[in-house]
Structure 1
């Protein structure tokens, strides 16, 4: 050994060959934990701030972990409810899944919904076993064979020896397996509610001592060597012997899914799942897989982690036998799915189940304490079946690849990180905005704020986590020049996702919807308005147009570095100086005076750019705008979105509403051409209470999140805004009053009838291109405002159709 042993950081920890000693060995106190933490800080050189405090009661840890320094927090998501009709569990069950794998909980939940709507999962525990296999080596084959014959007759006495050690363990089988001069003796136990690895080890050791004593007393040949385990038990390893002989709980779950549920929830067909299953069985054989399974281990590992199981036992517990076969339970035909878990090693008592949080999750499943082991096994198997079904359906339906699409980069990217949002980035912007060339930033601190990102940024951030994306509120301390008193300014830094990141995330949502929508959306995903979102909004904030700057939050500057994929806006933080911010979920707070103020405010932007279409296009940042020809070609997408919304959200979109929207979509070739010919201007194109507020001092408009800004008729923004803020029972004259206010504020000499026609067509456009997209998102991420928005939109369409003498046919 070298003269000095180097620690983790590379510095000598001890000289003279002394081995470094972790402090507080065998001690379960907070003082000992902190001593270990300080030792780890010193030896690793890492600050380890997150380990400063631990919520785990150190006194509860003996027997669970040694040299404890802290804990980790793993997100636990809820999947279900799942209807289980088993021998030991009956009813709706919600499962806690501890995981960091995105989409896994959602996939289990989808499978649980399908099974439940189809009548539930039938579950049954066949048996529960735990094995320990000591090994005895003899000096000759004949001696080993003689021992095997003798010990097989001692099962009754060995069973009595076991009861002396554990009241939970019962020896049910004794099986000698001779391999040359070596005899492996399979002790097979039932262990009640415990998983039993530890108790059976102790019981087996007691039995081995009895065997040695009896051999010696009877002057029989003694083994030349023995051990309490020779690796035939398959402990924490998958072993074929245990799939038949048993180790852990052998449990199965089965369900029958009708065609309608498979189409509606799993977004595919029985034939597609069956075809993939049969192909995958042959592939599994070729690959040498143990059994046949999709991804049951995901559920098993997640529930094991949440409930204090021995996580290493996932290795042997995770192998299963999954099968499907068609049946003709109804006229349309369906699919029967079965999952057998032959070696599920679980326990409802002992081990990590004693820990406080793990015990709570077991209690939530109704599985804490004696008599719960079989119930626990049936629940795990049922939820594993749900995930297997959901995953195989995703692959068969073409959703799997889209749902896991990742951005390929042929080069390394120096991503924008939180540490980059500091003085070097902010100083030049503040210096220019404050007209103070000598300005110096002396401090930047994050603000604890509930500030939300736009829906686009929020959804994109779920898939792209390698860089900073979203809204970051900061408090900046600065001095105009050295010697001045410091001042503080609160800012918001908005880091934009790339347009292709937004496009991919939206396509994932469509893919997970399945059916025609999943098939059609990829063809049109580049024309859903998201191209250029990362460059468009920074350009808006750089605009010198006074009318536009009048409604924007005050901007300190923008930063763009394409090589780092960094597109950043630094703007004022809207706080107590505004009212009605983020009020989309409370639209009733928008009173008549507030709505009028917002309409007048956005009209100023419309008026400034009206008639300047060529100039606006010449700015270079607007990107491609929608045309009547493309809208007509995209009718297959709008129809697929409508079909999905009608099927998934009948409580929001009833049959009458669906028929009305269907007529609008069918009529696109006629009415969108008229819309395209009308005078157009710069529109916000996402103008609603999610992205608008009023300044408290004078009720002037402040509008943010301009990433979807485009060229459109001015009525487009007002149509959307009124759909958000007016009640579903709004009267026609109230709508007319706001439209007249907007027309007069925009000017341009457009007669009232033509203006009203433009509003009607803009409202149709909003319903088709935005409301239906919201309904798609709502399938995966609840949008609380959507119920009222849908009802009001349909009411406004009915009002306009009545004013125009009926909808276009």
Structure 2
């Protein structure tokens, strides 16, 4: 085995593959992620040596942020390359606060790049004589700079003598380039001329030169850099209105000022270079996204952040004294980085001042948001993880293999001799549900989600079989609760505090166990509606909870009246089979914890907080009229929950909407049963109609849909028919509508401020249309 990297100095795809194969042999690792790359090796001369592949970093967009700067003006979003959760969300929150208060004003104060060679002379006198002579050579030094660069301009020569050593800071302007390479070339040309200049003058010549003697502070945070600057010196300032601080940042100006004062004292005690909160996060994320020199984050992230009261408002300011940025040269020419610079309006010549102002504006937005999170107690909640008393061997990508799936299929198909021969990932047909995504927020270190697979096996008789399956790897209920807590932590202390108190008692608790329990049931009324289940894994030790089910494809049809009626008839057998058997259901224990009838009234604090928060953050979704309707329903919850007690209850899907319903070959399939619970059967009707009936639904249409469902439930059995006939079915519908509005809709609405739900605006309009139809009926 050769110990020399092959293909040195060669920029070709063949050389890249040779080096990659050599690395595989050396390391023993397969390195599958490096097999392909979107970069052309021939275009990387000057960017990297011994090229083997590329590393992909997720990029999210923060903002928009309103700029009223010298070069950056208008509404701007920033691409942030990061793997740190909450960074984009926090920067966006800060941007929202600054924008709502009038925007951020930005200005570039100067742009310079330095290189500081060190000269050694025979003695102090020689060094002193050389310094005196150097002051008179400005014109000749500028001539040397022009020999190597048309874009570099020498603007200062700053000597510092220490004994026989002389450090000279050469200061340059470099237009739109960051300038490290340009200034290095220009300084080297100057040094060569100083050493080799012709003529017989008796000015001492240095006997030794070090091109960089560390006085420039290159890629280091220094006190000198704060005072005199290196790179682009840029500042940003904003006014924060009291009402915006309360509505968006969920705190008060007084709390922000106290937090800033305490942080300033801490910075002074530790000897911090500058004083900031979080600017390096924005600097690093924008540097990665736009091809800047990431090694310069150390000095570029130095900042001075200040905050002061101005009447009832606050003035917040940030200074970045050493922002090393460019919009030409280096990594800015790489394709992805160039695209993102173009999206910012900063690519190429003339873009550096705008780019520097954008960095400063978003750094200020993040500092404001982070300080607010610290002052309001939201910071730890936004980064929280579930505590565990032991190490867990979580599922990881690649674990969905033959060894894992074989026992599942063998048990699920009742064939102990079944042998899985291959498992291959298949194209993704559908994304994770909301619960799965929330669970990933609560615990993102392990594998969860929906994974299509093509599985081959031989059965006990040796016959081959192939199936297109889906492995649904579930998040635990407590992870979903924690994920919602993390989302609500950015929505203010009231909502977050109420969720901490009551979230563990909501329908999300034990969601993973509940869905697996549903798939274990054998009642035809339920199995006829479920996707076919091929196997289950319920491993508490690994926290691995998997449903292996058939892969199906929705026909994509519109939700016409016929489709709605078909879905109501499909769910009715489930409702009819268990109608009035709620105590029996609960006694069996397979539904685990189920909130009681009075739960909406008992948890009133939670729903009030969510409604008020959603109305404050999303007035276009919940205006004052809608907010007051919901608060009125919550206020009366003690009455209407009590009145609902005589209503017959059953097993309900509790998330019965087109997101969880598929129609394929005329068959209706309902999946995602993690929220299944005991409730009035009309709960599933309300949710389906809220998603599908439309904001122009009429009372006659609602009556017809209710009649279809009622008749289908009554047709299940004489017992179901008697229970239907013996109750006010409409009363159950109204109870379910109230429950849906103040719980599920309220939770969707408050989450919408942090995570866009495209389905929510039409859903909200339709849900309130259903409410107004019932109110009109009462007024008849």
TM-score range, shorter chain: over 0.9
1:790 matched to 2:773: no
TM-score by length of 2: 0.95
> What is the 5 A alignment of 1:150-549?
150-213=133-196, 217-328=200-311, 333-484=312-463, 486-549=464-527
Distance 1:637 1:394 in 2: 21
1:410: Cα distance to partner?
2.2
Distance 2:462 2:497 in 1: 65
1:748 matched to 2:717: no
Change (3 A) 1:789 1:180: same
1:775 matched to 2:754: no
Which of 22, 36, 39 does residue 39 from structure 1 map onto? 22
Q: Does the residue aligned with 1:130 lie in a helix, a strand or coil?
A: strand
**Conserved? CA contact 1:732–1:799, under 8 Å:** yes
Distance 2:412 2:328 in 1: 65
Q: Does the residue aligned with 1:444 lie in a helix, a strand or coil?
A: strand
Q: Does the residue aligned with 2:675 lie in a helix, a strand or coil?
A: coil
Distance 2:198 2:133 in 1: 10
1:702 matched to 2:669: yes
**Conserved? CA contact 2:279–2:366, under 8 Å:** yes
1:604 maps to which residue? 573
Change (3 A) 1:54 1:600: closer
List gaps (5 residues or longer) in structure 2.
Answer: 714-720
1:5 maps to which residue? none
Change (3 A) 1:53 1:544: closer
2:689 maps to which residue? 722
Q: Give the aligned length.
A: 773
1:6 maps to which residue? none
1:751: Cα distance to partner?
4.1
Distance 1:738 1:592 in 2: 9
Distance 2:644 2:723 in 1: 17
1:339-378 CA-to-partner distances (Å, cap 9, x unmatched) read 1000111112222223233222222222223232222211
Q: Does the residue aligned with 1:285 lie in a helix, a strand or coil?
A: helix
1:733 matched to 2:727: no
**Conserved? CA contact 1:176–1:183, under 8 Å:** yes
Distance 2:485 2:434 in 1: 15
Q: Does the residue aligned with 1:711 lie in a helix, a strand or coil?
A: strand
1:557 maps to which residue? 535
1:805: Cα distance to partner?
4.5
**Conserved? CA contact 2:85–2:383, under 8 Å:** no
1:4 maps to which residue? none
1:687 matched to 2:665: no
Change (3 A) 1:192 1:421: closer
1:648-692 CA-to-partner distances (Å, cap 9, x unmatched) read 222222333222222111101111111234222221111111112
2:731 maps to which residue? 757
Q: Does the residue aligned with 1:676 lie in a helix, a strand or coil?
A: coil
1:770: Cα distance to partner?
0.6
Distance 2:84 2:259 in 1: 24
1:593: Cα distance to partner?
2.5
Change (3 A) 1:571 1:213: closer
Q: Does the residue aligned with 1:618 lie in a helix, a strand or coil?
A: helix
1:7 maps to which residue? none
> What is the 5 A alignment of 1:573-652?
573-575=551-553, 579=555, 589-627=558-596, 629-652=598-621
Q: Which moved more, 1:359-368 or 1:773-782?
A: 359-368
Change (3 A) 1:565 1:434: closer
1:135 matched to 2:118: yes
TM-score by length of 1: 0.91
Distance 2:73 2:397 in 1: 49
**Conserved? CA contact 2:652–2:676, under 8 Å:** yes
1:483: Cα distance to partner?
4.5
Change (3 A) 1:368 1:559: closer
Change (3 A) 1:245 1:579: closer
Change (3 A) 1:321 1:219: same
2:716 maps to which residue? none
Q: Which moved more, 1:78-87 or 1:764-773?
A: 78-87
Distance 1:429 1:136 in 2: 74
Q: Does the residue aligned with 2:85 lie in a helix, a strand or coil?
A: coil
Distance 1:170 1:441 in 2: 70
Distance 2:444 2:21 in 1: 31
2:83 maps to which residue? 100
Distance 1:526 1:104 in 2: 26
Q: Does the residue aligned with 2:171 lie in a helix, a strand or coil?
A: strand
1:803: Cα distance to partner?
2.9
Distance 2:656 2:29 in 1: 47
RMSD: 2.2
1:83 matched to 2:66: yes
1:622-654 CA-to-partner distances (Å, cap 9, x unmatched) read 233323554323212111111122222222223
1:234: Cα distance to partner?
0.6
1:498: Cα distance to partner?
1.2
**Conserved? CA contact 2:442–2:484, under 8 Å:** no
Distance 1:472 1:62 in 2: 40
Q: Which moved more, 1:251-260 or 1:223-232?
A: 223-232
Distance 1:420 1:168 in 2: 55
Distance 2:514 2:501 in 1: 23
Change (3 A) 1:152 1:676: farther
1:60: Cα distance to partner?
2.0
Distance 2:585 2:257 in 1: 55
Distance 2:213 2:396 in 1: 52
1:213: Cα distance to partner?
4.1
Distance 2:601 2:441 in 1: 32
1:282: Cα distance to partner?
0.4
**Conserved? CA contact 1:215–1:222, under 8 Å:** no
**Conserved? CA contact 2:226–2:321, under 8 Å:** yes
Distance 1:631 1:434 in 2: 42
Q: Does the residue aligned with 2:658 lie in a helix, a strand or coil?
A: coil
1:55: Cα distance to partner?
2.4
**Conserved? CA contact 2:443–2:483, under 8 Å:** no
Distance 2:691 2:39 in 1: 47
1:277: Cα distance to partner?
0.7
Q: Which moved more, 1:190-199 or 1:543-552?
A: 543-552
Q: Which moved more, 1:465-474 or 1:419-428?
A: 419-428
Distance 1:80 1:623 in 2: 42
**Conserved? CA contact 2:291–2:331, under 8 Å:** yes
1:550: Cα distance to partner?
2.5
